[in-house]
Structure 1
Amino acid sequence: MDAAWSEKTPEQTGQTQQRRRATSADDDFASDLAKFACGLTIDRLPADVIAAASANLFDTLICAVAGSGARGVGDMRELVGEWGGAPQATILVFSDKVPAHHAAWVNGAMCHARDYDDTHDSAVLHAGVSVVPAALAALEWKFGASGADLIAGVAAGLETICRLGVATSIGIIESGYMYTPLFGHFAATVAAGRVMRLTETEMINALGIIYSQVAGNHQVTRDGALTKRMQPGFAAQSALISVQLAQRGVRGTQATFEGIDGFLRVYLRDSCDPAKLRDGLGESYEFMQLSYKPYPCCRFNHTAIDAALDLKKTHEISPENIRSIRVGVTRQAYEAVCTPKPVRRAPATIVHAQFSIPFTVAAAMTDGYIGLGHFSESAIRRKEILDLAQRVEPCIDGEIERKWSRNVSPAAVTVETVDGRTFKRQVDIPLGNPRRPMLPRDFDAKAEDCFKASAIRFADDAATRLRAVVDSLPVLEDARELVRVLSPLR
């Protein structure tokens, strides 16, 4: 009975698909992932892959600086202080020394709090916000691994989450999961485990232990919950617990991904291609396709913002002369950042504003830019932006839906003016994608925006010093210098 049942998956879209079920670690993706991660060294990484991992580290850490002043982070820090414990790792910016898993939790939330962090536009997830905090906490807990170990751990973790993302065909609206924390649990475990130099057996067990903890829901964005920004931190926190348990010989599940009750069936309804998880693993790197954000809000907003900014600049459109703005996107984007319309047009929380095409398009057309200043308690109540947001009409564009469904959505924006003119602009690829990369000056402006939002003032050259340490990681014997440069109170 069990053997016959295990050859079939639940019905999907009216068809029953055949799928091989792993019965041990030897034939499960966990084994392939452990071999890849544990065997990865910096000398096996091409120069462009090292540069990509370094770029992700820098971008994720400046996002953490910005997140230090975000709502909810102070509450988490105070709670961790009340818990106390061994001074194993650092809460970035504040310099608090706390147990490693607590540092990973708070730092993960800080990295994600402003929604300024990286995005994989095909996988629709953020990669660095669980991986980097877990790797840094493991680095400190290990009493200072080398920069080469940190780069290898970050690269392995980023590759894990990105491969899980592109191999998955079911969208976040249909599944109900946010893939950033869901896949981030495994990715953070891989990153921390590699930094701590787990054996392959220990890594397999760590992946099995983390499987008992994976979570991350989409309801947080619908409800504008502060826990949206905490979910990647939960992934990083659980990863530190899992790798330490594995080091002590605790056994986790073995057929973690492809077993009868493995992750692919239970969480993803078998809408994940195992071949895409394995093909070229260790030879080609999917995380090279990561995008970096020019605007601190949900990536589903970005093509609409790009189009709005272009129309405003090209045609010198004033907000007072706008009769209506129509924005066509995919169904996934419509569900994520356009509904319910009353909430998106008048966001009650910062998270609602971060996940709102009406609000962000109205802000772009009003001010001619989008920055961290648009996502504060006072900014989300600006009358001129809210008035214009009422005239933004999002909809599902049938042609865009047919061509782009699972990916970050293009946006077709049509502006009708009071004086009878009509302007149209469609943006398929958002700024920051590898096909439309941000320029160095864009990254400099982003870093300046992030450091200005810090809860604690840094020196004027802090971003420059951070970049210098990141660039030196391949030859740095003790990578804890990266933590020190982000601890201004020391």
Structure 2
Amino acid sequence: MSTDAAISYIHDATLDDFAGEPLDHLRARVLDTLAAATAGYQLATADVARTYAAEHHDGDAATLLDGVDETLSEQGATFVNATAANALDVDDGHRDVKGHPAAVVVPPALATAEATDASIGEFLTAVGVGYELAVRAGLGIHATDGVYTGTGSWGAVGAAAAVARLRDLDRETTAAALGTAEYHAPRTPIMRGVEQPGMTKDGIGWGAYAGLAAVDLAATEFTAAGTVFDETNVTVTDDLGDRFYLTSGYLKPYPCCRWAHPGVEAALDLREAHDVDPTSVETVRVHTFEAATHLHTRHPAAVEAAEYSYPYPLAAALHNGEFTPAELDADQRENPTIRALADRVELVVDDDLENRFPSECLARVELIMNDGCILTSGVTRARGARERPLPPAERRAKAADLFGVTLPPETVDHVESALGKPATTVATLLEPWRQTDETTGHGEV
């Protein structure tokens, strides 16, 4: 049974197994997730989650990544930190499952590692194990059910795997934890979320929580009914330890749905190459794949609607020359020039780009100018993809900007240093979040 293979991997994997490129990616994804979560606390989504968790999951076992030295129970911190990690939609992703493995795995692993006084090496191993099994669970669930569901639906399995590793569960309890996590995971009908955006998004907060809760239930002899890994047509655990999905994910330069990134990238390239005056653009025609055309919100009333839009990020990028978390602010969303430009964005399905999705996430953009001139990009792949990775300096700059909302600029150096010392405790990693004062506060973008 393939669940047995997953359990063996959880129990037997070591940090040395990730040596080389996988470990580099593992550390990069942890850094990226911590930064995304820290900045995500500036959004109302995280405030709502924190208020709920403070009422129902009070405690001092695990640190919130809000930068004001707050703690909750393991369950509470997991739920809020995971919600915050995906709040800006700037967290790591993986095209094969069209979701966000790190955001659903890192927070429960971090909370458990802190509560159990684990080392950095133990924490990283747990995250690596959880990431690999989260992606494989997603592949198995999508193949078996034939329906595209969001991260929480399969990420719960990876969350449970990471926590089970840190808790050193026996095989029987680990099996129950994995099965319970999958069975109790949120359904997350993501295409509805794309067309009707809300704070639910990818269900990442609840998926992370479900994974940790599954471990707690399993420890009390709660039983489960197997996992998707046992389905006869699911063979995704066969290459555990040989193939690392960690190395084929992407990091996001822009705080919006990944499907919009190629168009934003192409528009920015055209703007720079031709010194485009946005007010002189009559039509923006985006050739893309079918799923991306569902990102059709033009005048987003809320942050989540801006993140799950194609016309708005593209128009804001053309107008401002960039698309950063600042472009999610209400004053930007209500800017009449940006709104007018968003109204002139056309989304067109391109058969070739459709056939290449989801293995490739691409777009081609035409700017039709008022004078009749047409500026055309080539087929564009967004930065951060496995074929076009963000350089280390750009990854660090992204993290510094996200941390800088509430934490000192040297936080990037501290995190990278801590992640490079396997024997150091996770408590050391978390020092920047435990030593700040409350003058920074939090609020809504």
State the TM-score, normalized to the length of structure 2: 0.92
**What's the offset of the Cα at 1:294?**
0.7
**What's the offset of the Cα at 1:451?**
2.3
The corresponding residue for 2:442 is none
What is the identity, as a one-letter code, of the residue corresponding to 1:234? W
SS at match of 1:475: coil
Cα distance in structure 2, aligned partners of 1:67 and 1:487: 17
The corresponding residue for 1:24 is none
Cα distance in structure 2, aligned partners of 1:50 and 1:36: 16
What is the identity, as a one-letter code, of the residue corresponding to 1:487? R
Q: 99, 102, 109: which one pairs with 2:73? A: 99
1:35 aligns with 2:8: yes
- Does structure 1 retain, via aligned residues, the 8 Å contact 2:78–2:209? yes
**What's the offset of the Cα at 1:147?**
1.4
Q: Give the root-mean-square deviation of aligned CA atoms.
A: 2.1
SS at match of 1:35: helix
The corresponding residue for 1:410 is 362
**What's the offset of the Cα at 1:214?**
1.1
Q: 153, 157, 172: which one pairs with 1:201? A: 172
SS at match of 1:323: strand
The corresponding residue for 1:130 is 104
Q: 362, 377, 382: which one pairs with 2:315? A: 362
The corresponding residue for 1:274 is 234
1:212 aligns with 2:183: yes
- Does structure 1 retain, via aligned residues, the 8 Å contact 2:263–2:380? no
The corresponding residue for 1:88 is 61
SS at match of 1:411: strand
What is the identity, as a one-letter code, of the residue corresponding to 1:140? E
What is the identity, as a one-letter code, of the residue corresponding to 1:468? S
Cα deviations by residue, 1:101-145 (Å, 9 ceiling, x for unpaired): 111000001111000100112321111111000101111232x11
The corresponding residue for 2:433 is 486
SS at match of 1:140: helix
The corresponding residue for 2:415 is 466
The corresponding residue for 2:227 is 256
Cα distance in structure 1, aligned partners of 2:414 and 2:8: 35
The corresponding residue for 1:475 is 423
The corresponding residue for 2:19 is 46
**What's the offset of the Cα at 1:351?**
1.0
1:224 aligns with 2:197: yes
Cα distance in structure 2, aligned partners of 1:428 and 1:445: 23
**What's the offset of the Cα at 1:428?**
4.3
Q: 212, 215, 218: which one pairs with 1:240? A: 212
Q: 367, 388, 404: which one pairs with 1:436? A: 388
- Does structure 2 retain, via aligned residues, the 8 Å contact 1:171–1:406? no
Cα distance in structure 2, aligned partners of 1:138 and 1:97: 13
- Does structure 2 retain, via aligned residues, the 8 Å contact 1:466–1:486? no
1:328 aligns with 2:328: no
- Does structure 2 retain, via aligned residues, the 8 Å contact 1:296–1:372? yes
Cα distance in structure 2, aligned partners of 1:220 and 1:406: 18
- Does structure 2 retain, via aligned residues, the 8 Å contact 1:207–1:256? yes
1:423 aligns with 2:371: no
What is the identity, as a one-letter code, of the residue corresponding to 1:315? H
The corresponding residue for 1:286 is 245
Change (3 A) 1:145 1:258: closer
Cα distance in structure 2, aligned partners of 1:311 and 1:84: 49
SS at match of 1:345: coil
Cα deviations by residue, 1:16-56 (Å, 9 ceiling, x for unpaired): xxxxxxxxxxx2x2221111111111133322222211111
* Equivalence map 1:298-313=2 (5 Å): 298-313=257-272
**What's the offset of the Cα at 1:80?**
2.3
What is the identity, as a one-letter code, of the residue corresponding to 2:53? V
SS at match of 1:234: helix
Cα deviations by residue, 1:58-81 (Å, 9 ceiling, x for unpaired): 000000111111112122222222
- Does structure 1 retain, via aligned residues, the 8 Å contact 2:268–2:321? yes
For the pair shown, which has the larger CA radius of gyration, 1 or 2? 1
**What's the offset of the Cα at 1:84?**
5.2
SS at match of 1:327: strand
Change (3 A) 1:292 1:258: closer
Cα deviations by residue, 1:299-353 (Å, 9 ceiling, x for unpaired): 0011101110111111111111111111111112222x13xxxxx1111221111
**What's the offset of the Cα at 1:288?**
0.9
- Does structure 2 retain, via aligned residues, the 8 Å contact 1:157–1:191? yes
State the TM-score, normalized to the length of structure 1: 0.84
Cα distance in structure 2, aligned partners of 1:170 and 1:241: 26
1:352 aligns with 2:329: no
Cα distance in structure 2, aligned partners of 1:171 and 1:323: 45
**What's the offset of the Cα at 1:206?**
0.3
Cα distance in structure 1, aligned partners of 2:335 and 2:125: 45
**What's the offset of the Cα at 1:248?**
3.1
**What's the offset of the Cα at 1:409?**
3.0
**What's the offset of the Cα at 1:257?**
1.4
SS at match of 2:155: helix
- Does structure 2 retain, via aligned residues, the 8 Å contact 1:300–1:408? no
- Does structure 2 retain, via aligned residues, the 8 Å contact 1:209–1:251? yes
SS at match of 2:434: coil
SS at match of 1:249: coil
What is the identity, as a one-letter code, of the residue corresponding to 1:475? A
SS at match of 2:287: strand
SS at match of 1:294: coil
- Does structure 1 retain, via aligned residues, the 8 Å contact 2:58–2:76? no
Q: 130, 133, 137: which one pairs with 1:157? A: 130
The total of aligned residue pairs comes to 434
The corresponding residue for 2:443 is none
What is the identity, as a one-letter code, of the residue corresponding to 2:194? T
Change (3 A) 1:211 1:326: same
Question: What is the percentage of aligned positions where both structures have the same residue?
Answer: 25
- Does structure 2 retain, via aligned residues, the 8 Å contact 1:333–1:408? no
The corresponding residue for 2:440 is none
**What's the offset of the Cα at 1:279?**
3.0
**What's the offset of the Cα at 1:169?**
5.9
Cα deviations by residue, 1:388-441 (Å, 9 ceiling, x for unpaired): 11111012112221x223345311111111112111113343210121111233
- Does structure 1 retain, via aligned residues, the 8 Å contact 2:299–2:312? yes
